Amino acid sequence: MEQSYLPSQTPSGLRRLREEDLENLRGNGEGERKSFERIYNYDVYNDLGDPDKSLKLQRPVLGGKEHPYPRRCRTGRPHCDSDPRSEKRRNRFYVPRDECFLEIKQLTFSDTGGDVLRFETPEAMNRDKFFWFRDEEFARQTLSGLNPYSIQLVTEWPLKSKLELDIYGPPKSAITTEMIEEEIGGLMSVDKKLFMLDYHDILLPFVDKVRRLEGTTVYGSRTLFFLTKDGTLRPLAIEFTCPPMDGKQQWKQVFRPSWYSTCIWLWRIAKAHVLAHDSGYQQLVSHW
């Protein structure tokens, strides 16, 4: 019988030493964080605004009871102080130092003092500077980008929301069978051929709140992909949805690949919006 080179469990003679090692690495949740510690406890973000510069830059504390997410790893540095002499300074946020990243920041920030980061140009951009526009790259990032865990096989058709009808409007998707058949040039089958990034139901409850912030917008989104014969994914359609709000009915629109100039840019913007959903979901859901 073959034996594995590595044991499936920590040998009994090493268990006590392993426990002590983990205890030292994890810290005890007190004091200032050491560089070698693995952080398993978290703290609030109270350093995201600058109300002394402008009251419009006030930001709520994140990670507390009212806004539980996102949180940051505990550093042990004190929270921002309040100065009762000034109404503005009472809400002053302290921006913590990132000691571990100071050297990296000095290497990456522009010498002119601006906020432009210097990263190496991707090799693909040296060959084709517009490669990130292309559907192939959009589909590739879905599988090998920031968040490859959200894509799922379509098992039911037509697509429907599971949110409350009286609050979020009709559940049926605006993506139709005819649209898909036009894109794939034949009869549609959902049997292991269609895949989806579904950020519709998870984002729709936040659309009203986000869109009330000046200069911001968000939609619920669905993105459909077709599994081609060569084993790659091809994006077919992107649907954006807004729930009923401000006396208006539910709004839905489907974007598809096109060769017309206006539609091309609408399709590109739609893809960029979906990538923002994908990275945001990775940070706030998958990662956390």
Domain ranges of the chain: 14-117, 123-286
* Confidence (pLDDT) at 149: 82
Residues 204 and 241: beta-carbon distance below 8 Å: yes
- Give the residue with greater pLDDT, 84 vs 47: 47
- Residue 172 β-bridge partners: 160
Domain 14-117 identical in fold to domain 123-286? no
- Choice between 39 and 106, residue whose per-residue pLDDT is larger: 39
Cα separation, 211 vs 270, whole angstroms: 17
**Tokens standing for residue 135:** 């559907």
> What pLDDT is recorded for position 112?
47
Q: What is the dihedral of CA 246, 247, 250, 256, to 10 degrees?
A: -60
Instruction: Mark out the alpha helices in 65-211 (DSSP H runs).
Output: 102-108, 123-127, 135-144, 165-168, 177-184, 200-211
Distance CA 7, CA 175 (A): 51
| End-to-end CA, the chain | 42
Angle of the 135-144 helix axis to the 261-281 helix axis, nearest 10: 10
Report the share of the chain in percent with pLDDT over 90: 31
pLDDT at 32: 76
Structure-model confidence comparison of residues 53 and 236, the more confident one: 236
pLDDT of residue 164: 94
Residue 37: how many other CB atoms lie within 10 Å: 17
Instruction: Decide if domain 123-286 falls under CATH 3.10.450.60.
Output: yes
Q: Is 267 helix (H, G, I), strand (E, B) or coil?
A: helix
List, in sequence order, every beta strand (DSSP E) within the chain: 42-43, 72-73, 152-153, 194-199, 220-227, 233-242, 251-255
Q: Report whether pLDDT(215) > 50.
A: yes
In the chain, the amino acid numbered 192 is K
CA distances from 187 to 179, 184, 193, 232 (A): 11, 8, 12, 19
H or E, element range at 262: helix 261-281
Q: Assess whether pLDDT exceeds 60 at residue 96.
A: no
pLDDT(108) > 50: no
At residue 223, does pLDDT exceed 50?
A: yes
| Residue 20 confidence class, pLDDT cut points 50, 70, 90 | confident
pTM (2 d.p.): 0.66
% of the chain residues with pLDDT over 70: 79
Confidence at residue 58, expressed as pLDDT on a 0 to 100 scale: 79
Query: Which comes out higher in pLDDT, residue 239 or 36?
Result: 239
Q: Which CATH number is correct for 14-117, 3.30.70, 3.40.50, 4.10.375, 1.20.1050? A: 4.10.375
How confident is the model over 22-74, as pLDDT tens digits? 777 777 777 777 777 776 677 887 767 777 778 887 778 888 888 887 777 77
Q: What is the pLDDT of residue 132?
A: 82
pLDDT tens, position by position, 253-282 = 999 998 888 899 999 999 999 999 998 888
Instruction: Tell me which long-range contacts 212-221 makes (C-beta under 8 A, separation of at least 24).
Output: 219/273, 221/197, 221/273, 221/274, 221/277
